[in-house]
Structure 1
């Protein structure tokens, strides 16, 4: 096997891990296959991650952190709650469009129950940060006065389903379908019409 002498080894490991897990599943993915995809010796991969589980979790947390950071950055650029929620929703869709394998990877790993309690707590902190924006939108009258977790479910479930379809389908979703889905979600959670 040809070995990479230089370059972005962590990036190559991440890309190879994502590709292998998406192709074969987390249980069937092997460190040897990941190393081969990355063009690295297995020993090199083990210098970065002690075990397969460590590798899978590290890549998952890296992707989830990147997605969270993108969503929160989009939210911070918005001027009010309606724009903030829309920006968050469409940023999730853009991530699924731009990085379909990474999107599917996170879905696969979440189903594999590999994360440690501290890693789950870290993800929960990210979730709470997003929920705080929903709570603020409830408080300012943008969203219905109900449990913010229910609103998160109504907004996120269709976005995740569209993201899965986009990532698995390999073709772009019809923008009108994406817009219509958001509009339906918005009507379900909004306290008033956005144009009022």
Structure 2
């Protein structure tokens, strides 16, 4: 029976911690900037719509791995030195903002136009219309897709190993090289990813089923 010592288990736990941390940073940043992108996509100003659409096209149309390389190796060429974890956090935030922005854009546009027109007729200004009426309903509609993207983002943090950052996957690789037990170590890493991702996926499916039953 393969055996891992306390040092190897602690090292894997540290990698797991950084995986969760990167996921949280990327998702939180994606929420903030994704909301800006979503509002830009539905803005009346054509320049804002085009800029938001361009951002989405770039980050949805290129691999996350390439985005990590551009941030990690490109910013130093501009005189901005960033650590590996900061580069990964920036890349994940930009990546998440594009996908979440498009998810929320679709949810906003799914709200019947009559509600926006009615609130406009009542004299509500843009902030009240959007944040008090439109966005709360759009958030409910977009929750399953948002949770689904969170699962993808969590798994995407494994690419941070490419730029030398030690998260769960990279920690597993290092432990595997030290113990010569790749099947057991990566099996354990896979189980850890499953234990993080499956509950989220199950939660997203339940929300989707609930919304299908009660679309209001």
Give the TM-score band, short-chain normalised: 0.3 to 0.5
Normalized per residue, the structure richer in helix is 2
What TM-score do the two structures reach when normalised by structure 1? 0.32
Computing the radius of gyration over CA atoms, which structure comes out larger, 1 or 2? Answer: 2
Larger relative contact order, structure 1 or 2 (CA cutoff 8 Å, min sep 6): 2
What TM-score do the two structures reach when normalised by structure 2? 0.30
